[in-house]
Structure 1
Amino acid sequence: RAVFPHGRILSVILTCVGGDWAAFAALLAAYAAISLLVPPPRCYGYVEGGRVTPLNPRSFAAEVRKATTDSQPGRKTASCLTDDVVLFHVPWSDDCRYFYPILADLSKEHLKEERRFWSVDLNVYPEVGAELRIDTSTSSKQLPTVVLFHGGKEVRRLPPFDEKGKVIKT
């Protein structure tokens, strides 16, 4: 839970009661009860029929970057027949946290199509971000990054790069 929003709410409560400590204590108790009984919404993994599966470097290589054919000649693998949409994110970025529910909704809308939705936490697996040239610094304009893969190859990326290799902020 974020402490900062709770501090704002408590300062508003204290301001509204005008320094009456009994009223402040009553409102503080009510606020504490509500925040304990009604947790903030979390949007990771399974969301109302949609699915965004987290990946680690090994599963990223196996599921998304896998070769287009397997050991049986002429037979296509799942990664060749599907589009893989991968969200590269960090937990400390508000933009990443706000984008995750959007991706979950997209996964729900495209559930029956040949499209799989994945996420990679670059705070935990920075080597995956380095491989794909995703800057994870606090001043980065690349977070979150969404990459579309088809047959194990990158097809499209948001935010995209310009001709000089600089990020175009979308």
Structure 2
Amino acid sequence: MAFKNDLKRLAMPYYWVNLLLTFSYILGKKIVPICELIFPDKTECGEIDMRESEILFFLLIVVVMRARKTGSMSMVSYLSSSFIYTKGANLILWFYSDTKLGIAYGAIFILVGLLLPEPTYKGPENVTYFRGTDLEEEIKRDKRITWIVTFYTAWNPSCVNFAPIFAELSNQYGLENLRFAKVDIGRFPEVAKRFRIDDSSLSRQLPTVILFKDAKEHIRRPDIDTSNKLHKFYFSEDNVKAAFDLNNIYNESKNNPLKSPKKSKKLQNGTEDDHIKSE
């Protein structure tokens, strides 16, 4: 099922256009008709020289290391986290081959970034979106409600990849007293500071998921120990379920539903009526 979903996502223009940009230099060198059209010196066609091979090998190492750091678990996640590096390497290769070709590729690089942003999840979800301090006010309003909150930015690939997972979890486990929420700390940086989350472009804390119980922070992933060391966390569905003990929290919340004021008033009136009747 996950593989089919990945294939559907790869059919979106963002992915196949970026894949073309990723392999543009290799395709331009290896496909002879294209190579003869691009390069005036036809002796370059069909061959990758030593310097180009070194750049490609270095790119491979960077992509693998970066994917491991971001915790990419699926094919689409690997691609999303690697596009910026693969396109950067292609930019270097095109400039290395011909300055004009490098400038042309750079212009296409920027144009694609402006016109084709990474697609965000638009499926069904049971998630509340908060603005600024609204989150803390709502958490404190009723301590009986358990909140699971994702702090994210729209531009971070790991946050984008986690969005459908969080949406699915909200559909599976959402209750009146077990609620899911999100805050875009890219738009509200003061919230990031309040909850000690680094929202910079090099941050390893994106996304951050915090479980609030009794209006207090109960569990956080990725978490930071007493020595201020950040512990890496892979945001897969199974890992999130295990880390936040969602099955037990769901059963506990379901067995202790919130009593609405109307029901409580009816019960109270019913008790008073019974008392009057007995008299």
TM-score (norm 2): 0.43
Find the partner of 1:144 among 207, 210, 216: 207
Separation in structure 2 between the aligned mates of residue 149 and residue 81 of structure 1, nearest angstrom: 10
Correspondence 1:165 to 2:220: no
Greater helix share, structure number:
2
How far did residue 151 of structure 1 move? 2.3
In the superposition, relative to structure 1, how do residues 18 and 158 fare at CA in structure 2: closer, same or farther (>3 Å)? same
Correspondence 1:90 to 2:165: no
Separation in structure 2 between the aligned mates of residue 54 and residue 85 of structure 1, nearest angstrom: 12
TM-score (norm 1): 0.68
How does 1:71-110 map onto structure 2 within 5 Å?
Answer: 77=142, 80-110=143-173
Separation in structure 2 between the aligned mates of residue 141 and residue 7 of structure 1, nearest angstrom: 24
* Map of 1:9 onto structure 2: 20
Of 10-19 and 143-152, more deviation after overlay is shown by 10-19
How far did residue 4 of structure 1 move? 7.6
Separation in structure 1 between the aligned mates of residue 226 and residue 13 of structure 2, nearest angstrom: 40
Correspondence 1:57 to 2:57: no
Greater C-alpha radius of gyration: 2
Separation in structure 2 between the aligned mates of residue 136 and residue 93 of structure 1, nearest angstrom: 10
The answer as to whether partners of 2:174 and 2:180 remain within 8 angstroms in 1 is: no
The answer as to whether partners of 2:211 and 2:217 remain within 8 angstroms in 1 is: yes
Greater relative contact order, per chain length (Cα 8 Å cut-off, separation 6+): 1
| Aligned residue identity for 2:128 | T
In the superposition, relative to structure 1, how do residues 6 and 131 fare at CA in structure 2: closer, same or farther (>3 Å)? same
Instruction: Please list every run of 5 or more consecutive structure 2 residues that lacks an aligned counterpart in the other structure.
Output: 1-11, 38-117, 234-279
Separation in structure 2 between the aligned mates of residue 52 and residue 90 of structure 1, nearest angstrom: 16
Correspondence 1:127 to 2:190: yes
What fraction of aligned residue pairs are identical, expressed as a percent?
33
**Paired positions, count:** 137
In the superposition, relative to structure 1, how do residues 8 and 129 fare at CA in structure 2: closer, same or farther (>3 Å)? same
Separation in structure 2 between the aligned mates of residue 81 and residue 17 of structure 1, nearest angstrom: 68
In the superposition, relative to structure 1, how do residues 58 and 17 fare at CA in structure 2: closer, same or farther (>3 Å)? farther
Separation in structure 2 between the aligned mates of residue 7 and residue 105 of structure 1, nearest angstrom: 27
In the superposition, relative to structure 1, how do residues 164 and 115 fare at CA in structure 2: closer, same or farther (>3 Å)? same
| Aligned residue identity for 1:100 | A
In the superposition, relative to structure 1, how do residues 16 and 101 fare at CA in structure 2: closer, same or farther (>3 Å)? farther
SS of residue in 2 equivalent to 1:61: helix
How far did residue 116 of structure 1 move? 0.6
* CA shift digits 1:104-143 (9 cap, x unpaired): 0000101246311111111100000101100111221111
Q: CA RMSD in A?
A: 3.0
